């Protein structure tokens, strides 16, 4: 049985969330909080398997409550937001930096035409997140492990494009990596981040405010520029042409994902060949792995986040298992390795 604490200041929404969660026989709501302080008290006392956390609440908001819970009684926390306003988005992503796993939109009312589908998505998410281990924190900067898999990249193949894919835990990992890159980082970065619809623009603003690079949502046909980071738009694939322009496509989902890391990596490999550095970050499932195979076949470089610094070691684990990873790195070691790759071709193999 999955034990859940629901934190939500609106009685109507709280009752709806409880009803949705308890419609699944594997879930039991063991506590309800109408503000962040109550959420902290209930999480500390009841030790639930999952906390669903409203972002805006009286007494203590979702960000402060998340910080307290992760210190006192770490538990998987899923943020449930009613809007994608700048303030809500900033609070949500700050809470993810503090340890929350992901942000989802509040379910529509039962009268909505899409209610049943979103209820099932919400339940599936809750059940998956309840099993995530959250006690570990970011690994030290010095931890670097290289698996005995993958081919060495061709000497002299200078990296001209960085492609990144992430899912659960990705926003915080992206923030740490981008914040460590200098203002004059000489190659463009393309990112696929699985995130709730409506939040990608806010993610771009949040990342841009905390790093030295220009971060924005990608637009079809725009040129790739150095010192810039482009995020895949909602429900669209992100790719690149051989003449360094953005592809934003509504092609069918790849293994259920749109945007898809596999689409991005395969497109980058086709356009840039051995000059691609592909990075697979924390996340559930295996999105991106098939695309990484294309990167390796083209002679590109593949980096994977390590288990210790991943919120969910799913996507990186699958990439390592597929034998396509050149180096497994703590999140804090990714930016230095990218700097090495764009400046000194051929030095990415092996240790630190």
Active-site option among 287, 306, 326, 332? 287
287 is catalytic: yes
Active-site option among 81, 167, 260, 309? 167
From the CA atom positions of the chain, what is the Rg in Å? 20
Q: In CATH, what is the architecture of 144-343?
A: 3-Layer(aba) Sandwich (3.40)
208 is catalytic: no
In the chain, where are the structural domains located? 2-129, 144-343
Low-confidence ranges of the chain (pLDDT < 70): 83-84, 108-116, 135-156, 344-352
Taking the C-alpha atoms of residue 52 and residue 14, their distance in angstroms, rounded to an integer, is 10
Q: Is there a common fold for 2-129 and 144-343?
A: yes
Taking the C-alpha atoms of residue 151 and residue 274, their distance in angstroms, rounded to an integer, is 12
The three state secondary structure string of 18-70 is: HHHHHCCCCEEEEEEECCHHHHHHHHHHHCCCEEEEECCCCCCCHHHHHHHHH
The whole-chain average pLDDT of the chain stands at 88
User: Residue 116 has what pLDDT?
Assistant: 64
User: Residue 112 has what pLDDT?
Assistant: 59
User: Residue 154 has what pLDDT?
Assistant: 45
Do residues 231 and 193 make contact, with C-beta atoms less than 8 angstroms apart? Answer: yes
User: Residue 118 has what pLDDT?
Assistant: 75
Count of residues making up the chain: 352
Q: Which residue has the tokens 């509040």?
A: 106
Helix, strand or coil for residue 182? coil
Q: Which two tokens stand for residue 193?
A: 């981040």
First-residue to last-residue Cα distance in the chain: 43
Active-site option among 194, 260, 275, 309? 194
Nearest 5°: the CA angle 296, 300, 301 is 95
194 is catalytic: yes
Query: Domain 2-129: what homologous superfamily?
Result: Response regulator (3.40.50.2300)
Q: Which two tokens stand for residue 201?
A: 């623009």
């Amino acid at each position: 049985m999955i034990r859940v604490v629901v934190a939500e200041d609106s009685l109507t929404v709280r009752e709806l969330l409880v009803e949705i969660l308890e419609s699944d026989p594997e879930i039991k709501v063991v506590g309800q909080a109408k503000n962040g302080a109550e959420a902290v008290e209930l999480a500390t006392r009841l030790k639930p398997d999952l906390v669903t956390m409203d972002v805006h609440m009286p007494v203590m908001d979702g960000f402060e409550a998340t910080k307290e819970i992760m210190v006192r009684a770490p538990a998987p926390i899923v943020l449930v937001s009613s809007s994608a306003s700048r303030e809500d988005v900033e609070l949500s992503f700050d809470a993810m930096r503090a340890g929350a796993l992901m942000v989802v939109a509040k379910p529509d009312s039962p009268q909505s035409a899409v209610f049943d589908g979103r209820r099932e998505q919400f339940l599936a998410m809750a059940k998956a997140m309840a099993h995530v281990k959250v006690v570990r924190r970011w690994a030290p900067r010095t931890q670097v492990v290289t698996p005995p898999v993958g081919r060495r990249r061709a000497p002299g193949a200078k990296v001209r494009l960085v492609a990144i894919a992430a899912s659960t835990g990705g926003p915080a990992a992206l923030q740490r990596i981008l914040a460590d890159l200098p203002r004059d980082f000489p190659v463009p970065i393309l990112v696929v981040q699985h995130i709730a619809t409506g939040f990608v623009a806010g993610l771009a603003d949040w990342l841009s405010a905390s790093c030295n690079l220009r971060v924005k949502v990608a637009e079809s046909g725009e040129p790739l520029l150095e010192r810039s980071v482009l995020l895949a738009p909602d429900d669209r694939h992100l790719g690149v042409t051989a003449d360094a322009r953005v592809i934003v496509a509504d092609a069918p989902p790849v293994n259920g994902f749109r945007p898809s890391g596999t689409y991005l990596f395969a497109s980058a490999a086709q356009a840039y060949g051995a000059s691609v550095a592909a990075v697979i970050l924390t996340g559930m499932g295996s999105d991106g792995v098939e695309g990484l195979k294309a990167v390796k076949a083209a002679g590109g470089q593949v980096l994977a986040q390590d288990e210790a610094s991943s919120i969910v070691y799913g996507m990186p684990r699958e990439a390592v298992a597929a034998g396509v990873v050149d180096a497994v790195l703590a999140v804090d070691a990714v930016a230095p390795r990218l700097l090495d790759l764009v400046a000194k071709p051929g030095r990415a193999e092996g240790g630190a």
